[in-house]
């Protein structure tokens, strides 16, 4: 497997080459094209929710409020994806309304 390196001095919040694999990128591309296998679908979703959004990572960076804000925003995306994947639809959208004929 090939490895990739980013330029020296890249801020920690933007260092994705350390955590993203070639298989991750291929899975995400296959998902976008509508050709992902079930394993690739899971891998692409894990890439977005866990690796890129850092949903399980600590958002606070002591002494660096800008990075804390960035990581908190990034994590929010992962939290919403996880919520949509796991929550009951009636909790998210409310009870379905009966259609009325006017």
- What pLDDT digit, counting tens, does each position of 9-36 carry? 666 555 666 678 889 999 999 999 999 9
Q: DSSP readout, 49-100?
A: IIIIT-TTS----TT-HHHHHHHHHHHHHHHHHHHHHHS-HHHHH-SPPPP-
Per-residue pLDDT, 67: 81
Per-residue pLDDT, 3: 52
Reported pTM: 0.66
């Amino acid at each position: 497997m090939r490895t990739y390196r980013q330029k020296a001095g890249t801020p920690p919040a933007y260092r994705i080459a350390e955590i993203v694999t070639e298989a991750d990128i291929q899975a995400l591309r296959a998902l976008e094209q509508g050709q992902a296998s079930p394993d690739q679908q899971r891998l692409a979703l894990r890439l977005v929710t866990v690796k890129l959004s850092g949903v399980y990572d600590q958002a606070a960076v002591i002494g660096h409020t800008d990075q804390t804000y960035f990581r908190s925003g990034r994590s929010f995306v992962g939290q919403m994806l996880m919520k949509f994947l796991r929550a009951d639809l009636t909790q998210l959208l409310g009870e379905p309304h009966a259609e009325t004929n006017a």
